[in-house]
Amino acid sequence: MKQRKLIASDREILGGIPVFTGTRVPVKTLFDYLEHGHPLDEFLDDFPTVKRKHALAVLEFIRMKLLEQTYESVA
């Protein structure tokens, strides 16, 4: 995915809840789906404004942030 902002937070969009940039879909919704055992494809079917590449890029971004925090707390 091109280098662009993956997640947006704007008080005018859902009161500032982090959403997938260019949509009104909260990022938390993706994690809720996955947490409850729903596949990524089901999330994408239910929220067609989020593209697969965008969802995967957000998951990768969050994974990298989590790993950075883990490494920092161990060091």
Please report, for the chain, the start and end positions of each structural domain, with discontinuous segments joined by +: 7-74
| Record: fold of 7-74 | Arc Repressor Mutant, subunit A (1.10.10)
Cβ atoms within 10 Å, residue 4: 9
Q: Are the CB atoms for 5 and 21 separated by under 8 Å? A: yes
pTM for the whole structure:
0.83
pLDDT in tens for each of the 75 residues of the chain?
A: 444 699 999 999 999 999 999 999 999 999 999 999 999 999 999 999 999 999 999 999 999 999 988 766 665
Which H or E run contains 8?
A: strand 7-8
